[in-house]
């Protein structure tokens, strides 16, 4: 069953740049997919369209049955609750503890305290940081901060996890630790993961599905692929 389907999608920015051109794509529920391509190939634009940071100029972007392109601004929260997002720069709140950073997303939607505690501790356990609940982001390594960001993204058990260059600030060893965490989440929770990356070593080691973009167009989609631009 497809969780994501793009039909004849174009994205042209106001400055005249066409970032995505005639993109057709179907991603099955439970998949782990790398999106690769050189700078300017459309990777980040694709990710942004999936969480409705950007709207397509033409075509359909369907995520979990929702036509994202037609979603009104005041309804975007309905989409965002179905997915988690992990960025390259962590985006943690420095004055909140690890626990508080992860709990924040649930507090915003009015979850009960007991439910929040159960979900937060489970998410931190899944990323291997249950022993760091009282620490502040500034006391953590880059890899640990990214794991907190992943815990925050999965705490509400989303069906889809979008990762935009999540290992971009990390060394190879820490990058592979993050990949093992993401692979475990994909397998244990059944979360569909889509990850934009430049990291050839990670893609080649992980042997997941690989989407290759070039000039905003899909040029390859391999089931167990390697990094080939």
Within 10 angstroms of residue 60's Cβ, the number of other Cβ atoms is 15
pLDDT tens for the 229 residues of the chain, in order: 899 999 999 999 999 999 999 999 999 999 999 999 988 899 999 999 999 999 999 999 999 998 998 999 998 988 888 899 999 999 999 999 999 999 998 998 899 999 999 999 999 999 999 999 999 999 999 999 999 999 999 999 999 999 999 999 999 999 999 999 999 999 999 999 999 999 999 999 999 999 999 999 999 898 887 777 6
The angle at the Cα of 195, spanning 79 to 87, to the nearest 5 degrees, equals: 70
Q: State the pLDDT at residue 82.
A: 86
**Which of 217, 229, 220, 172 has the alpha carbon at shortest distance from 33?**
220
pLDDT at position 175: 96
Q: Thinking of the domain 1-82+159-229, which architecture would CATH place it in?
A: 3-Layer(aba) Sandwich (3.40)
Residue 155, φ and ψ in degrees, nearest 5:
-60, -30
- The predicted structure's pLDDT at residue 229: 64
**Could you give the CA distance from residue 224 to residue 31 in angstroms, rounded to a whole number?**
11
As to burial, measured by CB atoms within 10 angstroms (0-12 exposed, 13-18 middle, 19+ buried), residue 79 is middle
Note the pLDDT of residue 26. Answer: 95
What's the predicted TM-score (pTM) here? Answer: 0.94
pLDDT for residue 119: 97
CB atoms within 10 A of CB 52: 21
pLDDT score recorded for residue 136: 98
Show me where the domains of the chain are located: 1-82+159-229, 92-157
pLDDT reported for residue 98: 98
The string of DSSP letters for 137-186 reads GGGS-HHHHHHHHHHHHHTT--SEEEEESTTTTS-HHHHHHHHHHHHHHH
Whether 49 and 9 have beta carbons less than 8 Å apart is answered as: yes
């Amino acid at each position: 069953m497809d969780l994501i389907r793009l039909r004849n999608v174009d994205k042209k920015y106001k400055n005249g740049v066409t970032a995505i051109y005639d993109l057709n794509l179907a991603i099955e529920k439970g998949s782990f997919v790398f999106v690769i391509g050189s700078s300017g190939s459309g990777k980040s634009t694709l990710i942004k369209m999936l969480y409705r940071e950007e709207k397509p100029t033409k075509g359909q972007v369907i995520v979990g049955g929702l036509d994202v392109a037609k979603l009104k601004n005041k309804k975007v929260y309905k989409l965002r609750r179905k997915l988690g997002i992990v960025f390259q720069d962590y985006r943690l709140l420095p004055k909140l503890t690890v626990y508080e950073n992860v709990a924040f997303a649930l507090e915003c939607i009015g979850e009960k305290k007991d439910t929040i505690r159960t979900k937060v501790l489970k998410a931190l356990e899944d990323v291997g940081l249950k022993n760091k609940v009282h620490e502040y982001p500034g006391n953590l390594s880059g890899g640990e901060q990214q794991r907190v960001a992943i815990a925050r993204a999965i705490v509400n058990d989303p069906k889809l996890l979008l990762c935009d260059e999540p290992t971009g600030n990390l060394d190879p060893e820490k990058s592979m630790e993050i990949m093992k965490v993401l692979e475990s989440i994909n397998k244990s929770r059944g979360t569909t993961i889509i990850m934009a990356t430049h990291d050839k070593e990670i893609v080649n080691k992980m042997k997941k599905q690989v989407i290759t973009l070039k000039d905003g167009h899909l040029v390859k989609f391999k089931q167990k692929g390697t990094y080939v631009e």
